[in-house]
Structure 1
Amino acid sequence: MDHTNHVRLAGNELTAEILTGATIYGPGDEKIGTVAHLHGAGPAAQIVIDVGGFLGIGAKPVGVSVGDLDFMRDEDGDVHAVTSWTKDQLKAMPEHRDR
């Protein structure tokens, strides 16, 4: 997917309503996870990504800072993010547990 024409999201768009369910793409433009939910909003939010699994079953949740992802909208208005992390690097992170 060519991200050069995609529009970066503004800080006020980094909300659970907009980001939940967004696909995360790795450095090779492969799908590596989806946004499960957020803690907080805006630039200080923590993003919980479901990595691996099949149809959400068996996925490992990992938490990252919203600043570690580059969120944008494609030509169809769909929100997604890109990161330099690979799926294996995300899987190696500690599992996120809601408290």
Structure 2
Amino acid sequence: MDHNKHVRLAGNELTPEILADATIYGPGDEKIGTVAHLHGTGPAAQIVIDVGGFLGIGAKPVGVPVGDLDFMRDEDGVVHAVTSWTKEHLKAMPEHRDR
């Protein structure tokens, strides 16, 4: 997938409604997780990513700053993000727990 042709999301588009279930791609376009939910909105938001598991079962939630992900829309309008992290990097992060 050529992400260079995709439209980056503006800060005001970083909302729960737009980012819900967005796929996160790592190096080599490997699917490394999906957006579970987020805390806050805009550039200060924290994204909770489900890593691993199958169909949401057994996935580990990890929290990362929204600025560490590059969110965009593809040619069909589907929102996704890219990062330089690998699935192993995310799995090594502490588990996110909602308070």
**TM-score, normalisation: structure 1:** 0.99
Task: Give per-residue Cα distances to partners, 1:31-56, cap 9 Å, x unaligned.
Answer: 00000000000000000000000000
- Over the aligned positions, Cα root-mean-square deviation in angstroms equals 0.4
| Structure with the larger helix share | 2
- Tell me the distance in 2 between the aligned counterparts of 1:86 and 1:28: 10
SS of aligned partner of 2:5: coil
Gaps of 5+ in 1: none
- Tell me the distance in 1 between the aligned counterparts of 2:79 and 2:37: 14
SS of aligned partner of 1:98: coil
Establish whether residue 50 from structure 1 lines up as the match of residue 45 from structure 2.
no
Dislocated runs of 4+, deviation >2 Å: none
Quote the residue 1:30 is aligned against.
Answer: 30
Q: Map 1:1-99 onto structure 2 (within 5 A).
A: 1-99=1-99
SS of aligned partner of 1:4: helix
CA apart distance, 1:5: 0.6
Gaps of 5+ in 2: none
The amino acid of 1:93's aligned partner reads: M
* Identical positions, percent: 90
